[in-house]
Structure 1
Amino acid sequence: MELTHRIGHWADTHHPAWLDLIRMGLGTFILFKGLVFISDISVLERLLININLDWSSFIFAHYIAFAHLVGGILIALGLVTRAAILFQLPILLGAVLFVHPDESMRTINTEWWVSAVTLLLLIVFYIYGSGPWSLDQYMRTHRER
């Protein structure tokens, strides 16, 4: 726990404001992906069935869509960012490791690369936190209200 607090303190003191724009863009992108998934959930279910999640593809598809919708909004606003990222990490790890992993290096698989960059950004923002332009920071500085 001590290490977590030290990393959080270091990240808060070394967080450039321009990084918040990237966090907002990442949250918006994740929200958009959630909207795409929810608009045609059967495509996501078929994708999950293709990676041998037959018995639970319905549950996972709805979890992924809901987590992207809610998590994208929270990440974009900078509200409980680290908690929202924790719900996104298993989804993106699954996308990078299990969804067409054999095609990722041989061909131009843009969906894999988008998932890998999104996963990398989620890890960065889990370390750095929400930043100075966030609802978390606003709530920390305006506690008296």
Structure 2
Amino acid sequence: MSTLQQIHNWSLVHHPRWLVVIRVALGILLIYKGISFMFNSLQAHQLLYNTVFSSSADAIIIGITWAHLLGGFLIIIGLLTRWAVLLQMPILLAAIIIMANQYGIFASGADLPFTVIIFVLLVFFLVEGGGPLSLDNYFRHNPK
């Protein structure tokens, strides 16, 4: 049995039902952040202004917005959960690095603690997967 299959089997056996609530909340927060990027693109531009990404800030903001909206929806329904989480991880990691460099680690007003919590949850659900109450699990057991 492969390592990925062993991790998946372990996560199905050790997945409490209340983790579904956390997975759905994570998806909702990502959708909220995607909508926030959509309507507050000036704030995102200011965040990217003094970085290497300033020349292509518009394209990056559009990509982040759609990645958060699509990834959040997939995480909520539990479809392709690990892939959706992998899509989010580089975005959140870059956000943590940029915010830590611009505002400092303990700056008030920055979304750094919120972003770190979301990143930790993404790492958790990368390992854990969608769980027994997800479309991943449904399609795995009903291949028709």
User: TM-score, normalised on structure 1?
Assistant: 0.89
**1:14 matched residue in structure 2:** 14
Gaps in structure 2 of 5+ consecutive residues? none
**Would the aligned equivalents of 2:78 and 2:134 in 1 still touch at CA under 8 Å?**
yes
**Would the aligned equivalents of 2:99 and 2:110 in 1 still touch at CA under 8 Å?**
no
> Which is further off, 7-16 or 25-34?
7-16
Runs of 4+ residues over 3 Å off in structure 1 = 107-110
Amino acid at match of 2:23: R
User: TM-score, normalised on structure 2?
Assistant: 0.89
Give, in whole Å, the separation in 2 of the partners of 1:36 and 1:136. 28
Corresponding residue pairs, total: 143
1:39 aligned onto 2:39: yes
Using the TM superposition, give the Cα deviation of residue 122 of structure 1 relative to its aligned residue in structure 2, in angstroms. Answer: 0.2
**Would the aligned equivalents of 2:79 and 2:136 in 1 still touch at CA under 8 Å?**
yes
1:57 aligned onto 2:57: yes
**2:26 matched residue in structure 1:** 26
Sort the Cα spacing of 1:110 and 1:45 in 2 relative to 1 into closer, same or farther, 3 A: closer
Instruction: Indicate the RMSD between aligned Cα atoms, in angstroms.
Output: 1.8
Using the TM superposition, give the Cα deviation of residue 51 of structure 1 relative to its aligned residue in structure 2, in angstroms. Answer: 2.7
1:71 aligned onto 2:71: yes
Aligned 1:117-136 pairs, distance under 5 A: 117-136=117-136
Using the TM superposition, give the Cα deviation of residue 62 of structure 1 relative to its aligned residue in structure 2, in angstroms. Answer: 1.0
**Would the aligned equivalents of 2:79 and 2:130 in 1 still touch at CA under 8 Å?**
yes
**1:104 matched residue in structure 2:** 105
What SS does structure 1 have at the residue aligned with 2:111?
helix
Give, in whole Å, the separation in 2 of the partners of 1:43 and 1:62. 13
Amino acid at match of 1:129: G
1:88 aligned onto 2:84: no
Give, in whole Å, the separation in 1 of the partners of 2:111 and 2:5. 35
